A and B are shown apart, each in its own frame.
Chain A
Amino acid sequence: MTDVTITVNGREMKGSVEDRTLLVQFLRENLGLTGTHVGCDTSQCGACVVHVDGKAVKSCTMLAVQASGSSVTTIEGLANGQELHPVQAAFREHHGLQCGYCTPGMIMTAVDMIERHGSSLDEETVREELDGNICRCTGYHNIVKAILAAAGASQAPAMAAE
């Protein structure tokens, strides 16, 4: 067993884990943060995407011990109290989900994508960058719409400040 310290959604969390424990297991089973899902468990579907030190990664393909000392953001860390994060709000507005299983990973991927591309995101880039996230309900169309809408919305405060 190894002691790990991971800042999760801004709070320092400590735990004692077997070295083979996956980050997603630590989040779900040790911390009870079950918003991060396990879909395929083979790093293909993206249901488990979280941010580690600000970058989207697949938490089923990283050990908890590897993340010790890092900052992790999960889907639970996005909303500001009752106020949804703009990407979450856009997914609701544009019906970017049906069963919801892939949604946490989709949203974490989308937030990362928008941080990297900002309002220059176009449909082709969104579709290309959803390569590692699988949705079996929506046909992706409304997910793409939601991400594009949120990319525009995210830019609004910056433009207002100019």
Chain B
Amino acid sequence: MYETSYHRPSSLAEATQLAAEKGDEAKYLSGGMTLIPTMKQRLAAPEALIDLRHVGELKGISVNGRSIRIGGGTTHAEVATNEEIKSVCPGFAALAGLIGDPAVRHMGTVGGSVANFDPAADYPAALLALGGTIHTDKREIPADEFFQGLFETALDEGEIVTAVSFDAPDQCAYEKFRNPASRYAMCGVFVAKRADGVKVGVTGAGASGAFRWSDGEQALSGNFAPEAVDGLTVPEGDMVSDIHGSSAYRANLVKVVTKRAVKKAHSH
């Protein structure tokens, strides 16, 4: 790891001020579960790290009725074990419990994952399917507009994800088809059903990061059953192709994993 300098603000204002002073040589550090390994590989070398783990404004989960808001600094373990989220939106809590391993879930945060937008990150699939909102220190951004491409979000330089929020749907579930070695999603699908239709968020498979599978949404809105997507074909051209699987394999996975997610949604 190249040299860096560590800063520990205790408020959002202090954090953004530090970021403004350090400019683009600075990076925010949340749980560090992606950033620190990346720095160790010398693929990232920020001159300054601004640790957000001690910023109180980023903490906490609030559930009012079916409306859920999760602070950006909340860890995956906190989401996975939160009784209120488990009771109102079990599919979302279950997703958090599938990220990494227990030690990673103790450190990694919702805000960090969302801001990084790894193409195999789990939360983006859920936030797209739930029609969620990403809150920052400056504004609120709908998930559909927030996630833009590979590691690319609507965030401006120095902007911090302070929370994510969404209303719990009538039914939802996340199904993750893991790479057997890395345990990252080769394809992860979050399905969410409401009175006005079904939304399907897919991660791990798309060449431009998580996306909504609109053909699947249309079919499932008519009939929320696994077989509803049987006749559909997912375009191969939009899929990742690498040593772990061809684009054709991943395109097929989108369908298979969606069917499993729908089945799971009926059992939650």
Contacts and interface: CB of A to CB of B under 8 A. Distances in A.
Interface of A: 2, 18-20, 22, 41-43, 46, 49, 55-58, 61-63, 65-66, 109, 112-113, 129, 131-133
Given A58-B104, A112-B102, A132-B102, 4 more contacts: A49-B103, A55-B106, A61-B107, A109-B102
Interface residues of B, number: 26
B102 A131 contact: yes
Contact of B102 (A2, A65, A129): A129
Interface in B100-132: 100-104, 106-107
Interface of B: 1-6, 8, 29, 32-33, 36-37, 39-40, 49, 51, 53, 77, 100-104, 106-107, 183
B81 to A, nearest CB: 8
B103 A66 contact: no
Given A43-B104, A113-B102, A131-B101, A61 B4 contact: no
Nearest to A65: B6
Contacts of B102: 56, 109, 112-113, 129, 131-132
Contacts of B4: 19-20
Contacts, number: 69
A43 B6 contact: no
A27 to B, nearest CB: 15
Given A20-B1, A57-B106, A61-B107, A66 B101 contact: no
